[in-house]
A and B are shown apart, each in its own frame.
Chain A
Amino acid sequence: MTASRSTAIERAAALSVVPRRAPSFLRRFFRQRGVPIAALLLGLVVIAAVFAPLIAPYDPIATAPRDSLQAPSGAHLLGTDQLGRDVFSRIIFGSRVSILVGIIAVGVAMLAGVPLGLLSGYFGGLLDHAIMRTMDAIIAFPALVLALAIVGALGPGTFQVMVAIGVSAVPLYARLTRGQVLSIREQDYVHAARALGASNPRVLARHVLPNSLSPLIVQGSLGVAFAILAEAGLSFLGVGVQPPAPTWGGMLSKALPLIERASYLSIFPGVAIFITVLAINMLGDALRDVLDPRLRGI
């Protein structure tokens, strides 16, 4: 009895002296279900994008009419398209466009949306009304319709697609930031900073913005997945990144008329889009659960 009591006391003392450390962010992140697999898949896609010239066995653009429409084989792992180009090499190079458009489109959306949300939420009043009604109007267009209209206005091309997808996502970031700012601006530390004479830009940049970042990071990561899907959709329609640049959406568009003769052309680029978007979504969801559990279910 005495012995067990003393051990219990010792254990309690040991606990109070050396408090258990909370698991690190990365450890918590990687403990989420599916994260290791999703990270591995996305890692492979990123490696493919970065080292495309080293990995791809053939030039993705050079045509070889003699080799056209060859089924998957040892020479051409995923077959060749109607112009004799190696499908595997085109998928590897296609990852560059997808990842680049995904990241830059989200960058464009955040670059415009976050400052608008900060201003709207922090200053309120007429400025808030003007910004938010404009955002409402942008949301009235389905994202793809808006992106299509912008590409229609600017003409097709990689840069235009990035801008189009980015602009259609601006309201999302503006609204999210505004919501965060509305609660943060009433916090004591913001009042204290103001009382100490900090200017508005300083309060916004040093206190409000850093504390609004978590949901923005989560939304941004999920936004990359949306942007990749949107780019694939626009390229599928033929108004996105222009040929001969290899894009997954563009490859599927060219494969559709050949669906009966060469069905393999319709499979692999789709698998690439699906895996990439799935991996990013899973990582984004896990990031949300770790960084900002309040957003679960949104």
Chain B
Amino acid sequence: MSTRYLIGRLGQTVLVIVIVSMMTYFFLSVLPGDAVTAQIGADAGGFTEERLARDLGLDKPLPLQYVDWAGRMLTGNWGTSIRTKESVLDALWARAPVTLQLTALAMVISIVIAIPVGVIAALRRNSWVDRLSTTGAVAGVALPNFWFAILLILLLSVRFEVLPASGYVDPLEHPIDALKHLLMPAVVLGMAQSATIMRQMRSSMLEVMGQDYVRTARAKGLSGYRVVVGHALRNALIPVVTLLGLRLANILGGTIIIEQVFALPGMGRLAVQAIFAQDLPVVMGFVLVVALIVQIANLVTDLSYGLIDPRIQLGRGRS
């Protein structure tokens, strides 16, 4: 990977993050209920309102306000929550582990389900595995994740009482209990994504299995396992990795609802509470953190191509 490509790609990520922050700021700044009213209440006198607006820098032109705000964000001052008076950065930081654990576990579950099923469906085309997985994928895309969560709670918590229906336990204190609490929400989020990943895995595996080098590998007498794992899978994974980056954004988006269903104290739940309280600093902080994570994930996805397939020389022209 050339340094030039790396710098260019990093620059692109920074540019998108800047545009994202501008959009977040401008959009949430032109709200009907602004920060001043939210802080002092609608009945405050004009004088107090004017003074507070000056203190918050809201009397300046919008672009200048943005520059001030971006400067504060860069120095770690993300403002305070209107609802709890807590620092926004602290509030998000305290809840991030829950959301990140949930996201990571969901990602692992989606990969563990989707990749083997996708490969088997491609290798045994039109078999019952293939048909079942295709039907499952079509149904999976149409299944609202919160309803799937409710059905699982009905089955595993209410009927069989094998997993807890809600709550969070710190994995450093009680790892097994923590896993039990996170398993159901992670399965819900992971399964939803595995449908798409599985379809992509299947189609890219089918394509790769028809290539000359796979035929050559077979012809030289390699076992079926070595042909699939050593030759086909590695190449078929490239489009799947791209998709994983995109799916991460979906899982993060999904945590908002799933944290609500399972009463998990993560960033998504914080954001929903903030929206009800019109707590804009927290909403803005949450939106920015999510956009930041998605951008970093996209960057890592792009850079990982070279590791999966050393033939991909990022940043060098085609020979």
In the complex, the answer to whether A144 meets B257 with C-beta atoms within 8 Å is yes
A141-B20, A145-B287, A154-B32 known, 18 other contacts, Cβ within 8 Å: A133-B15, A140-B16, A140-B291, A142-B294, A145-B271, A149-B287, A151-B275, A152-B275, A233-B144, A233-B145, A236-B260, A237-B260, A239-B276, A249-B146, A259-B153, A259-B154, A270-B151, A277-B142
Residue A252 is within 8 A (CB to CB) of chain B in the complex: yes
Contact of B19 among A136, A237, A255 (CB under 8 A): A136
A145-B290, A266-B154, A278-B138 given as contacts; is B252 within 8 A of A140 (CB)?
A: no
Chain B residues with CB under 8 Å of chain A are 15-17, 19-20, 23-24, 27-28, 31-32, 138-139, 141-147, 150-151, 153-154, 158, 165, 199, 203, 249-250, 252-254, 256-257, 260-261, 271-272, 274-276, 278, 280, 283, 286-287, 290-291, 294-295
List residues of chain A with CB within 8 A of the CB of B139: 274, 278
Contact A134-B19, Cβ < 8 Å, known A142-B250, A236-B146, A252-B150: yes
State which residues 257-271 of A face B: CB under 8 Å: 259-260, 263, 266-267, 269-270
A-B contact pairs, 19 of them (CB 8 A): A134-B19, A140-B291, A141-B287, A144-B256, A145-B252, A145-B253, A145-B287, A146-B287, A148-B271, A148-B272, A149-B24, A149-B28, A150-B27, A152-B275, A229-B142, A237-B272, A238-B276, A239-B276, A252-B147
A contact face: mostly helix, strand, loop, or mixed: helix
Residue A273 interfacial (CB < 8 Å): yes
State in angstroms the CA–CA spacing of A161 and B257 once bound together. Answer: 16
Judge whether B295 and A140 touch: CB under 8 Å: yes
Task: Tell whether A281 is near chain B: CB-to-CB under 8 Å.
Answer: yes
Knowing A133-B19, A134-B19, A237-B256 are in contact, say whether A153-B31 is a contact too (CB < 8 A). yes
Across-interface contacts of A236 in B (CB, < 8 A): 144, 146, 257, 260
Closest to A167 in B: B27
B138, B146, B151: the one within 8 Å of A281 (CB):
B138
A263 contacts B142, C-beta separation under 8 Å: no
How near does chain A come to B249, taking the closest CB pair, in angstroms?
A: 4
Q: How far is the CB of A74 from chain B (nearest CB, A)?
A: 25
A255 and B150 in contact (CB under 8 A), knowing A137-B16, A140-B295, A297-B203? yes
Q: How far is the CA of A153 from the CA of B153 in the complex (A)?
A: 32
A129 to chain B, nearest CB (A): 11
Contact B275 A270 (CB under 8 A): no
Task: Give every chain A residue within 8 A of B294 (Cβ-Cβ).
Answer: 140-142
In the complex where A232-B144, A274-B142 touch, is A148 in contact with B256 (Cβ < 8 A)? yes
Write the nearest CB–CB distance from B202 to chain A, whole angstroms. Answer: 10
CB distance from A157 to the nearest CB of B (A): 12
How far is A206 from B252 in the complex, measured between Cα atoms in Å? Answer: 42
Nearest residue, chain A, Cβ from B13:
A140
CB distance from B156 to the nearest CB of A (A): 12
From A136, A143, A149, A263, name the one whose CB has the most chain B CB atoms within 10 angstroms.
Answer: A149
Q: Which residue from chain B places its CB closest to the CB of A142 in the assembled complex?
A: B253
A297 and B278 CA atoms in complex are apart in Å by: 41
CB B181 to nearest CB in A, in angstroms, measures 17
Residue of A nearest to B22 (CB): A137
User: Are B275 and A148 in contact (CB-based, < 8 A)?
Assistant: yes
Contacts of B261 in A (CB 8 A): 256
Q: Quick check: is A35 within 8 A (CB to CB) of the other chain?
A: no
Q: Are A142 and B143 in contact, with the CB atoms below 8 A?
A: no
Docked pose: A58 CA to B203 CA in angstroms: 49
Determine the chain A residues whose CB is within 8 A of the CB of B290 once the complex forms. 141-142, 145
A148 to B16, CA, bound (A): 20
Interface centre among B145, B154, B203, B291 (most CB of A within 10 A): B291
Distance, CA A167 to CA B154, complexed state (A): 35
Interface: A225 (CB within 8 A): yes
CA distance A252 to B257 in the complex (A): 12
Known interface pairs A149-B283, A153-B28, A233-B146; A143-B16 also in contact (CB < 8 Å): no
Top-3 shortest CB links A-B: A142-B253, A270-B147, A278-B142
CB distance from B25 to the nearest CB of A (A): 12
Inter-chain contacts of A151 with B (CB < 8 A):
275
Interface residue ranges of A224-244 to B (CB < 8 Å): 225, 229, 232-233, 236-239
- A239-B275 in contact (CB<8A): yes
Chain A residues contacting B203 (CB-CB under 8 Å) are 297
In the docked arrangement, what's the CA distance between A233 and B257, Å? 7
Question: Any chain B CB within 8 A of the CB of A162?
Answer: no
Assess the B147–A273 pair: CB atoms within 8 A: yes
Contact with B along A108-141 (1 / 0, CB 8 A): 0000000000000000000000000110111011
Instruction: Give Cα A95 to B37, complex, Å.
Output: 38
Distance of A247 Cα from B26 Cα, bound (Å): 32
A194–B19 Cα gap in the complex (Å)? Answer: 36
Take A140-B20, A144-B256 as given contacts and tell me if A281 and B142 are in contact as well, using a CB distance cutoff of 8 Å.
yes
